[in-house]
Amino acid sequence: MDNHRIRKTKIICTLGPASSSLEMIVKLAHAGMNVARLNFSHGTHEYHKLSIAAIRQASAQTGKRIGILQDLGGPKIRLGELRTPQIILKPGQPVTLTTGETAEGNEIPVNYAYLAEDVSPGSKILLADGLVELALERIEGGKLKCVTITGGILTSHKGVNLPLCNLRTPAFTKKDQADLEFGLMNGVDFVALSFVRGVADLLPVKEAISRSRSAKPMLLAKIEKPQAVESLNEILPMVDGIMVARGDLGVETPFERLPIIQKSVITAARRAGKPVITATQMLRSMIDSPRPTRAEATDTANAILDGTDALMLSEETAAGDYPVEAVTTLDMIARATEESYDSAKYMDEPESAFVQDTEAAMSRAACGLALKLGAVCLATSTLTGHTARMISRFRPSMPIIGFTCDEDTFRKLNLSWGVIPALIPQTQDLGTLCRTAERFARDNGLGAAGDRIIVTAGYPLWVSGSTNIVEVITINGS
């Protein structure tokens, strides 16, 4: 493991028809995948169970403990079954929307029962992921009389977005409940909740996870609604991480605001010590092309420079023609971008910008010391992963070795920027921990004899929230 070749930004790959075989998962892992995403908007429990088994088999085969992210589908509103293969709408054309899976005559069905109750005249209605825009003029007998603002082609089951409308459907649907129970029973490491609007949407998911006698996955809130952006400060303390889901977010908010929203969400999550994922259309052209566009390469690099922990591929790996090449491309862009990464600027941020507690103060001190002494790496013992994440938020230029005695924590640290998870026995001796850090750094090419390592730990060891020690050690020659 070459210190200069360690990629700090993590990569998440969505599995699907193009990538769910054991052979392909192994290839993705070797190309740089840290976490595999299972999209529960598609596929049966049996299908996902086979995928989980393949991920675990690939982990054993490659020696890379791949994290598993369960992405719950949420209450996605879609068009129903159209009477013709496609409908072409032109600007100014009147359109009638009705509820249900099918509709009569020229009406267009929408699969949301409360459609007429949750919108009002003047509401903007976006179809086909924002490509077609309607304006609601009036409601008659539960049917929406609209006029086309931006025309386009509609086909069955395309997405429907109702920006700024206060929808009564819960973010955590009955299907999500069954899917989460399946995920908990099968030991997923992360659970992402779609279409979060505020804290109330998160409470039933947190309760279900807390009741679980099996897995205790990290809860991630997907930021894809304007209400979630406005409620971000209330959402952050309730979750373990954030996903900037730019697909629906880019539809429901003005596209010119999306880059600024992305930057602000990433900054807020990082400062809170919560891993943040940037997702959707990272390398969309690579679904059917072996190379990305220049704009995609720049977008990916900018997300890294914004401070994202992880980058996520969706269709590129799930259904694309070049899944391995897409991961390799992300890996190359990330490594090149990280060479220009300004770690010092994060240490210059005011202390008031960060959540304040003992661990936060110790983590900042450790990073500052590592920077001043030119340490080759930081090392920490962490039972839950919290201390490693606290260090990670300062984005130090050197790797962070996250020593843990917990297998679940090991996999969860796959999502945190700059952290190299390492599974060790539960030693109670700080000296043993320091010698383990020396040996790990030397054996993995992170440092050589005479190089310094900054070690943080709590005494007693392996007690959550007890970080109170920062020690400087020097790698010996044997």
Helix (H) or strand (E) holding 221: strand 218-223
The CA distance from 28 to 326, in Å, is 9
| Together in a domain, 359 and 272 | no
Q: Which of 47-61, 251-265, 337-351, 401-415 has the lowest mean pLDDT?
A: 337-351
More confident call, 276 vs 106: 276
Known active-site residue 222? yes
Provide the pLDDT confidence category of residue 350 given band limits of 50, 70 and 90.
Answer: confident
- Does any domain span residue 62? yes
CATH number, domain containing residue 93: 2.40.33.10
CA 407 to the chain's CA centroid: 20
Query: What is the per-residue pLDDT for 9?
Result: 98
Picking from 141, 161, 181, the residue at the C-terminal end of a domain is 161
Least-confidence region, from 18-22, 173-177, 358-362, 414-418: 358-362
Q: Are residues 193 and 310 in the same domain?
A: yes
- Token pair 């088994």 in the structure block, residue: 53
Q: How far apart are CA 108 and CA 80, in angstroms?
A: 8
Give the whole-angstrom CA distance, residue 203 versus residue 461: 32
Domain containing 46: what range?
Answer: 3-75+170-338
- The active-site residue out of 14, 98, 278, 280 is 280
373: domain CATH number?
3.40.1380.20
Instruction: State the average pLDDT for the chain.
Output: 93
Average pLDDT over residues 35-41: 97
Residue 223 neighbours by CB distance under 10 Å: 29
Active-site annotation holder among 7, 56, 76, 78: 78
pLDDT recorded at residue 183: 98
With bands split at pLDDT 50, 70 and 90, how would you rate the model's confidence at 165? confident
37 a catalytic residue: yes
Q: Does residue 416 sit in the same domain as residue 470?
A: yes
From 284, 312, 338, the end of a domain falls on 338
Does residue 225 fall inside a structural domain?
A: yes
The predicted pLDDT at position 308 comes to: 98
The arithmetic mean of pLDDT across residues 284-306, rounded, is 97
Q: Is residue 370 part of a domain?
A: yes
| Per-residue pLDDT, 181 | 98
Strand (E) or helix (H) holding 473 = strand 467-474
Higher per-residue pLDDT: 457 or 217:
217
Q: How far is CA 238 from the centre of its chain?
A: 16
Least confident of 325-339, 345-359, 431-445: 345-359
pLDDT reported for residue 467: 78
| Average pLDDT estimate for 410-423 | 97
Residue 3: the pLDDT is 42
- pLDDT by residue (tens digit) across 48-72? 999 999 999 999 999 999 999 999 9
Q: 342 or 49, which is more confident?
A: 49
Does 82 map to a domain? no
Q: What is the pLDDT of residue 214?
A: 85
Which pLDDT value is given to residue 2? Answer: 44
Q: What is the pLDDT of residue 160?
A: 94
284 assigned to active site: no
User: 57 and 195, same structural domain?
Assistant: yes
Q: Are residues 119 and 252 in the same domain?
A: no
Same domain flag for 395 and 455: yes
Q: Which of 37, 270, 274, 395 is catalytic?
A: 37
Q: How far is CA 210 from the centre of its chain?
A: 21
Q: Which two tokens stand for residue 408?
A: 């679940």
Determine which one of 222, 274, 364, 442 is catalytic.
222
Same domain? For 146 and 9 the reply is: no
Q: What is the pLDDT of residue 355?
A: 61
Does residue 294 form part of some domain?
yes
Look at residue 80 and tell me if it is in a domain.
Answer: no
Q: Is the pLDDT of residue 342 over 50?
A: yes
Candidates 229, 271, 266; CA nearest to 355 is 271
Residue 81 counted as domain residue: no
How far apart are the C-alpha atoms of 333 and 293, rounded to whole Å? Answer: 12
The predicted-structure confidence for 143-164, as pLDDT tens digits, reads as follows: 999 999 999 999 999 999 998 8
Same domain, 176 and 280: yes
Among 302, 319, 338, where does a domain finish? 338
- Beta-strand (E) ranges in 304-389? 310-313, 377-381
Does one domain contain both 467 and 420?
Answer: yes
113 and 156 part of one domain: yes
Does 4 have pLDDT greater than 80?
A: no
Same domain, 95 and 210: no
* Sign of torsion over alpha carbons 302, 308, 309, 311: negative
Query: What are the tens digits of pLDDT across the range 118-133?
Result: 999 999 999 998 899 9
Given a cut of 90, whether residue 358 has pLDDT beyond it is no
Could you give the dihedral angle defined by the CA atoms of residues 42, 46, 51 and 54, in that order, rounded to the nearest 10 degrees?
Answer: -170
Task: Return the H-helix or E-strand segment holding 243.
Answer: strand 241-245
Q: Based on the domain organization, do 361 and 403 belong to the same domain? A: yes
* 205 in a structural domain: yes
Confidence of residue 478 (pLDDT cuts 50, 70, 90): low
How many domains does the chain divide into?
Answer: 3
